[in-house]
């Protein structure tokens, strides 16, 4: 029916927008993770922190890396879902995916 097709196109449009948002979130986490790395890669910064030290730079970087990994998994799943929808060879679904990707990137 027309309502079913319109709802399908809307869902694909929203999934495509979400894909772009996740991609941007992953890039933001990468930037934060790179800023959390120590500025100097001398021998002192590569060894284990002393017992009195907190090692916050390593912990912060690790948390960002775990976040990036989760964002990557979500991005791959969303990408495959949109790809499978487009592989239905329906022109309206294809246009919904293109419009969602465009709107998601713009926003």
84 versus 58: the higher-pLDDT residue is 84
pTM > 0.85: no
Q: How far apart are the C-alpha atoms of 3 and 45, rounded to whole Å?
A: 60
Q: How far apart are the C-alpha atoms of 93 and 6, rounded to whole Å?
A: 9
Q: Which residue has the tokens 């022109």?
A: 91
The verdict on residue 57 lying in a domain is no
The verdict on residue 59 lying in a domain is no
77 versus 49: the higher-pLDDT residue is 77
**Total domain count, the chain:** 1
At residue 30 the predicted structure's pLDDT band, cuts being 50, 70 and 90, is: confident
Q: How far apart are the C-alpha atoms of 50 and 55, rounded to whole Å?
A: 8
Does residue 43 surpass a pLDDT of 90? no
The verdict on residue 16 lying in a domain is yes
C-alpha dist (Å) from residue 3 to 6, 74, 84:
5, 28, 21
The verdict on residue 97 lying in a domain is yes
Range of 82's domain? 1-39+64-106
Mean pLDDT of the region 73-82? 94
- Give residue 44's pLDDT: 54
The tokens for 56 are: 């916050």
């Amino acid at each position: 029916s027309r309502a079913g097709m319109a709802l399908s196109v809307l869902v694909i449009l929203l999934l495509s927008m979400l894909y772009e948002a996740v991609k941007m979130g992953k890039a933001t986490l990468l930037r934060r993770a790179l800023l959390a790395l120590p500025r100097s890669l001398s021998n002192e910064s590569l060894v284990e922190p002393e017992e009195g030290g907190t090692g916050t730079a390593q912990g912060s970087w690790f948390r960002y890396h775990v976040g990036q990994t989760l964002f990557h998994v979500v991005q791959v799943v969303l990408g495959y879902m949109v790809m499978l929808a487009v592989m239905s060879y329906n022109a309206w679904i294809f246009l919904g995916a293109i419009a969602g990707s465009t709107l998601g990137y713009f926003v």
